[in-house]
Structure formats: structure tokens, C-alpha cells
């Protein structure tokens, strides 16, 4: 049986959801988890519930703030000393920065941005979308182990009936080594909204929003629902919203409980990023828009008339 490590990021001592997705998919394997710094009690329980056998919290000088060199040095030493066959991480900004660096340091193979995977015996086989999701390719990893894999957040989904692990937690002394480039400060974004990849409710706008100013009606609806606002690629390319709000193949993959698509036609690129949403509501003037084929509920009409009415009705209902 392959020896597997999942690197998890923390957010206020809670773990990123993608780590739990990976653990659920690895049911049947004995899997360790590693993080830099500490994990709170709730995060520890979630990891154990989803199958973590051992939880290693790497701590040491110069590791209190993210540094590509420091984190990579600490993890390289830990991974090598424990002879892991596979190291998984989320395909997040940190994962995309850190895992290729580790693979290069260990002269190891890597599969990035996979949306599904399975094991044939001890051998990994992954699925990765190409050409904006128009086709899927099967990927295998060659060369010496450990092999590194990054998984797109929200692509796997959480396992409904996870297999619990022992969840033994221990601190590990780690060495950041020489750090030639230091990060002086990380400035938090102005928005207090939950990040799209973690949001439970999302309200998104497309090219039909017409301009950036009109997104305020989506902000107002989102305020009532406690939602996060997203945008289609068409809206981002038109300059109506920043790329950080983009949902889709070249943006963020999301899997909220409720996804409200306003003025979004439903191009394949966008559908690839939100089709795993539990409930999809579409508002569009075109009754033949592709988004309606994926929607659980559809409203044919002008979003500038419908969204304010929907906001008021929901406000009254929720109050």
C-alpha cells in the first residue's frame, strides 16, 4: 500500500476544504497530514473524521509566515525522512507555488490541477481537463518517488460518509534553512466576504450586467443572502469585474449549496467551474441559453427587473 501525505493549508487554524476532499478520495489508504504551524481543535477533528491517520504540525524558526523557500525546505526534510510515495495538496495559490518547487528539489514527477484520480494498486492515475475543459486527459507520473499531485478545489466534492482515521496529532521540529527572499508583509484584501472557492452561496453576473457599476445589484442580493459575488469570464474580459471574481475553467471552480447565475449564458468554460453546485438558479432573457440545461430553477426575464424583486422577497422571508 502506498504511503501518502496530504499537505493542508490552514485558515485561522481551520483547514482548507480541498484537503478534506482529497482525504475522502483516499479512503482505504493510510494517509498522514502535514501543515506548517498549528491546527485548531475543529480542524483536527475534521481531518480525523475524513481519514487522517497522523497529523504533523511542522514548527520552527522563520516558519511563522509563508515563504516559498522556508516552507519547501521544511517539507523536503520531513517528506524525505518519512519516505512518502505520494504527496497531495490543493491546487491553490500556495499549492501551485510550493509543490512544483518541492518536486524540483527532490527530482520527482508531478501531476498538477487534477480533477479526479484513482489508484491502480499503488500506481496513481489522474484526470486533468485541457483546452478549457473541452477534453479530459489521463495522467500518470513516472520517475523516482515521491510523486506530487495538486488537486483542483471543489472538483472532488466532500465524501458523504467518510472513513475516520486515528487523527493522532504531534508537533514536529522543522528547519526552514536558508531563506534568500523574505516576505515582509501580506496585505489582506479589502473584502470581508468569504472567498469564492469556500463560499456556500454565490451570486454571479455575466456580460449582460453591461458594466461594473451594475454589479451593485448583485452585491445587494448577496448581502441579504450572506453570499459571495462572482462573475463569468465574459464579464471579467469586458472589465466589469476583477479576475479574482471569475468562476470557470480559467477562474475558480466552486461547489456552493446555492449558485445564482444572472445574465450568464452558460458557456462550457463557465459550466466547468460551477456545475457541481447543489442548487443552480438561472436568470436570463434567452430561454434557449445553455445555462438552463444545468439549472434546477430558471427564470426567463430581465435580471435588472428580477434581481431587485428577488432581493426584497428574500429579505422579507429571511427577516
- 63 within 8 A of 84, measured Cβ to Cβ: no
Helix (H, G, I), strand (E, B) or coil at 272: helix
**pTM, whole model, 2 decimals?**
0.79
CA dist., res. 259 & res. 275, Å (int): 9
Per-residue pLDDT of the chain (319 residues; tens, 9 = 90+): 789 999 999 876 678 889 999 999 998 888 999 999 989 899 999 999 999 999 999 999 988 888 999 999 999 999 999 999 999 999 998 999 999 999 999 999 999 999 999 998 889 999 998 876 678 899 999 888 999 999 988 888 888 888 898 889 999 999 989 888 877 877 776 566 778 888 899 999 999 999 999 999 999 999 999 999 999 999 999 999 999 899 988 888 888 999 999 999 999 889 988 988 889 999 999 999 999 999 999 999 999 999 999 999 999 999 8
For strand 135-139 and strand 123-130, is the pairing parallel, antiparallel, or unpaired? Answer: antiparallel
Sheet strands (E) in the chain: 4-7, 10-11, 14-15, 31-36, 52-59, 86-90, 110-114, 116-120, 123-130, 135-139, 147-151, 168-173, 201-205, 228-231, 258-262, 279-284, 297-300
Of 42, 70, 38, the residue nearest 56 (C-alpha): 38
Domains annotated for the chain, with CATH where assigned, are: 4-173 (3.40.50.620), 196-318 (3.40.50.1220)
DSSP H or E segment with residue 283: strand 279-284
Helix (H, G, I), strand (E, B) or coil at 25: helix
Amino acid at each position: 500500500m502506498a504511503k501518502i501525505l496530504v499537505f493542508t493549508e490552514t485558515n485561522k487554524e481551520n483547514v482548507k476544504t480541498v484537503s478534506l476532499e482529497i482525504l475522502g478520495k483516499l479512503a482505504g489508504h493510510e494517509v498522514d497530514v502535514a501543515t506548517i504551524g498549528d491546527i485548531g481543535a475543529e480542524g483536527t477533528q475534521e481531518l480525523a473524521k475524513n481519514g487522517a491517520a497522523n497529523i504533523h504540525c511542522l514548527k520552527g524558526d522563520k516558519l511563522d509566515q509563508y515563504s516559498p523557500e522556508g516552507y519547501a525546505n521544511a517539507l523536503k526534510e520531513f517528506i524525505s525522512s518519512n519516505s512518502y510515495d505520494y504527496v497531495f495538496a490543493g491546487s491553490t495559490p500556495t499549492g501551485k507555488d510550493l509543490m512544483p518547487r518541492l518536486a524540483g528539489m527532490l527530482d520527482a514527477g508531478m501531476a498538477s490541477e487534477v480533477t479526479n484520480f484513482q489508484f491502480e494498486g499503488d500506481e496513481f492515475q489522474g484526470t486533468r481537463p485541457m483546452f478549457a475543459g473541452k477534453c479530459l486527459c489521463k495522467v500518470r507520473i513516472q520517475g523516482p518517488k515521491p510523486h506530487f499531485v495538486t488537486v483542483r478545489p471543489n472538483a472532488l466534492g466532500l465524501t458523504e460518509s467518510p472513513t475516520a482515521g486515528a487523527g493522532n496529532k504531534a508537533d514536529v521540529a522543522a528547519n526552514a534553512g536558508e531563506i534568500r527572499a523574505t516576505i515582509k508583509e501580506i496585505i489582506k484584501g479589502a473584502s470581508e466576504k468569504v472567498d469564492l472557492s469556500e463560499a456556500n452561496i454565490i451570486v454571479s453576473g455575466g456580460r449582460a450586467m453591461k458594466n461594473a457599476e451594475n454589479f451593485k445589484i448583485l452585491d445587494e442580493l448577496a448581502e441579504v443572502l450572506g453570499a459571495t459575488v462572482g462573475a463569468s469570464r465574459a464579464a471579467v474580459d469586458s472589465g466589469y469585474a476583477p479576475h479574482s471574481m471569475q468562476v470557470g475553467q480559467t477562474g475558480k471552480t466552486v461547489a456552493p449549496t446555492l449558485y445564482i447565475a444572472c445574465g450568464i449564458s452558460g458557456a462550457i468554460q463557465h459550466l466547468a467551474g460551477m456545475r457541481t453546485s447543489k442548487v443552480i438558479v438561472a436568470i436570463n432573457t434567452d430561454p434557449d441559453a445553455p445555462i438552463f440545461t444545468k439549472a434546477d430553477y430558471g427564470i426567463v426575464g430581465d435580471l435588472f427587473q428580477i434581481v431587485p424583486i428577488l432581493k426584497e422577497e428574500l429579505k422579507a422571508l429571511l427577516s
